[in-house]
Amino acid sequence: MKTFWWKIVAVVFLVYTIVLGFLGPVPHLQILHETIRNLYFHVTMWFGMMILLTVSLVNSILYLGKSEVKNDRIAAEAAHVSVLLGTLGLITGSIWARFTWGAWWTSDPQLNGAAITMLSYFAYILLRNSIDEAQKRARISAVYNIFAYVMMVVFIGIIPKFTNVDSLHPGKGGNPGFNTYDMDSNLRMVFYPAVIGWTLLATWIMSLRIRINKLQNKSY
Amino acid sequence: MSGKEIKVLGKEIKALLLKEIKLEFRHKYAFNGILLYVVATVFVSYLSFRQIVDPPAWNALFWIILLFASINAVSKSFIGESRGLMLYYYTLAGPKAILLAKIIYNSLLMVFISLICYACYSLFIGNIVQNQGLFISALVLGSIGISSVLTLISAIASKTNNNFSLMAVLSFPVLMPLLITLMKVSKMAVDGIALSVTIKYLVVLGLLDLIVLTLSYLLFPYLWRD
């Protein structure tokens, strides 16, 4: 119980998210209507992805400092799982966009940022696969991870502020949505547990992948 | 870093930079090769487009040509060098000096190439830029940023098994912030927007260059150890 309580928390929170996410009361906003429920899935998955990418970054920095295999494993698997979360977020977002904006994909700073993030981390995984020597792979991919993370933050966080392009996303550019006024307590009641739930689930998947990786590299 | 270390670093950079330039003058293949690449690409675009008067299309084509030219020009900085030669450098100078010398050399190369590319492009495709000063300053700042990113990525790619295809895959996502800002600035230069409005974007470009340079400088020492 001491070690796996968080897995129970993950399952409870996600069941809660799915049940209340589909059945619970939501505010009625124009344009969004019932699609506002995607907040519990799409947005929370992106949150989980960003949390895991940050975990990956921290472990890459730690690896460069201490050269411990443990940090490299966590960095790699966190990146793998966040790519999975990112793909799910992309799919849920795309379906949502089809019903709200009328297109699967639009030229929106946030969408472009998401695409660049996914490309960076696919490149990271590709880089890992193309180096055979374990220590060299760990070191070089850690360097790329740090570089890619900083560039991603610059792309998502800084560039749109200067270029004055407004996003089509709810709450931005005058659209109704999830800013402080529109996000009511009903939404919050599901939103925060959902973020924690997805992050914990991703951590669970990550811990399993790390164990598989350890077994594969075990020397007898 | 103490004053003496900076002096040593400066000396090492100077020696390495001179060596790169001398090598370039002796062989003359890198610069001329890229030059020919740029001219040929521009000419092919000329044959298929003739003149372009639509600003977004003009801008996009120019940056795509320059992007591929710079990947070709800079990727050789680490990929081309043999393991033994690298080992020899490291016995002579520190990793930071080696990286900075490469970045300075590549930036110089890229500034020249981008200016020539611009001249050539104006000659064939037509020049619709209304604010020349802004466009050229964006070109110079952009060349410095792009060549510093590509120098580090080429050092990363040189350690892998399939380095040429990885070079493009690894560099596109991390080049995007620079490229988007560059395209925005050069679009403004094409439209002839006054410098007082666009100075903000030039500052952003300069800051991006600074971020990229600092990151390369901090991360490279971890890369070169084999």
pLDDT bracket for residue A163 (50, 70, 90): low
Identity of residue B105: Y
- How far, CA to CA in Å, does A219 sit from each of A42, A129, A137, A216? 41, 21, 19, 9
pTM for the model: 0.89
Inform me whether the pLDDT recorded for A36 exceeds 90: no
Lowest mean pLDDT among A20-24, B144-148, B181-185: A20-24
Nearest to A162 among B166, B200, B215 (CB): B200
| DSSP assignment string, A70-130 | HHHHHHHHHHHHHHHHHHHHHHHHHHHHHHHTSSS----HHHHHHHHHHHHHHHHHHHHHT
SS3 A165: coil
d(CA A103, CA A48) in angstroms, rounded, equals: 25
pLDDT the model gives residue B74: 86
Q: Tell me the Ramachandran region of residue A171: left when phi exceeds 0, alpha when psi lies from -120 to 50, beta otherwise.
A: left
Q: Which domains, ranges and CATH numbers included, belong to chain A? A: 5-213 (1.20.120)
* Percent of chain A whose pLDDT exceeds 70: 90
pLDDT bracket for residue A149 (50, 70, 90): very high
Inform me whether the pLDDT recorded for A66 exceeds 80: yes
* Percent of chain B whose pLDDT exceeds 70: 99
SS3 A25: coil
Interface of B with A (CB under 8 A): 152, 156, 159-162, 166, 169-170, 172-174, 176-177, 180-181, 184, 200-201, 204, 208, 211, 215, 219, 222-223, 225-226
pLDDT the model gives residue B145: 93
Structure tokens, B147: 């060549």
Residues on chain B touching A151 (C-beta within 8 angstroms): 173-174, 176-177
Q: What is the pLDDT of residues B64-77, one digit of tens each?
A: 999 999 988 888 88
Residue of A nearest to B224 (CA): A140
Inform me whether the pLDDT recorded for A182 exceeds 70: no
CB contact under 8 A, B204 and A162: yes
Identity of residue A185: S
CB contact under 8 A, A140 and B201: no
Residue of A nearest to B188 (CA): A163
Q: What is the pLDDT of residues B163-217, one digit of tens each?
A: 778 888 899 999 988 998 899 889 889 888 887 888 888 898 999 999 999 999 9
* More confidently predicted of B197 and A128: A128
Residue of B nearest to A149 (CA): B174
pLDDT bracket for residue A171 (50, 70, 90): low
Q: How many C-beta atoms lie closer than 10 Å to residue A107's C-beta?
A: 9
| DSSP assignment string, chain B | --HHHHHHHHHHHHHHHHHHHHHHHHH-HHHHHHHHHHHHHHHHHHHHHS----HHHHHHHHHHHHHHHHHHHHHHHHHSS-HHHHHHHHHHS-HHHHHHHHHHHHHHHHHHHHHHHHHHHHHHT----S-HHHHHHHHHHHHHHHHHHHHHHHHHHTTSSSHHHHHHHHHHHHHHHHHHHHHHHHHHHHHT--HHHHHHHHHHHHHHHHHHHHHHHHHHHHHH--
Max distance between CA atoms of chain B, in angstroms, equals 57
CB contact under 8 A, A140 and B160: yes
Q: Are A117 and A152 in contact (CB under 8 A)?
A: yes
CA triple A22-A193-A77, angle to 5 deg: 105
Q: Are A207 and A7 in contact (CB under 8 A)?
A: no
* More confidently predicted of B27 and A202: A202
Residues on chain A touching B156 (C-beta within 8 angstroms): 127, 140, 143-144
Structure tokens, B215: 């990151």
d(CA B61, CA B95) in angstroms, rounded, equals: 36
pLDDT the model gives residue B159: 85
pLDDT bracket for residue A210 (50, 70, 90): very high
